[in-house]
Amino acid sequence: MQITLLAASGSMNMIMILLMFVVMYFFMILPQVKKNKAQKKFWGEIKKGDKIVTSGGIHGKIIEIKDNIVIIEIEDGSKMKIEKSSISAELSQSYVKAAA
């Protein structure tokens, strides 16, 4: 009788651990994968003329795109060369209206 209870207890612990990993996957890993996919799609859709904000908080307008390098023009007319991955948001009217 005790052996059966121990075996049942062991299998119940295994089920609880497995359930914990499944819940962790759905609440932690899956949303991060979706966010990364959306960010890569966003970086692929940016184009010349879009108004953007970098992850450092710099606002600018894209004037040229070369592979992973983007050249932006900031307010005083100066140009900056940045990595495409440092762009965090688009401020173009069409994008802002779609998000609202």
Helices (H), the chain: 2-24, 30-45, 93-99
CATH architecture classification, 47-99: Roll (2.30)
Q: Within 13 Å, how many C-alpha atoms sit on residue 71's CB side?
A: 7
Name the pTM for this structure: 0.63
CA proximity to 43, closest of 100, 90, 92, 81: 90
| Main-chain phi, psi angles of 10, to 5 degrees | -65, -45
* Domain regions of the chain by residue span: 1-45, 47-99
Q: What confidence score (pLDDT) does residue 76 get?
A: 86
Tens-digit pLDDT profile for residues 35-78: 889 888 988 888 999 999 998 989 999 999 998 999 999 988 89
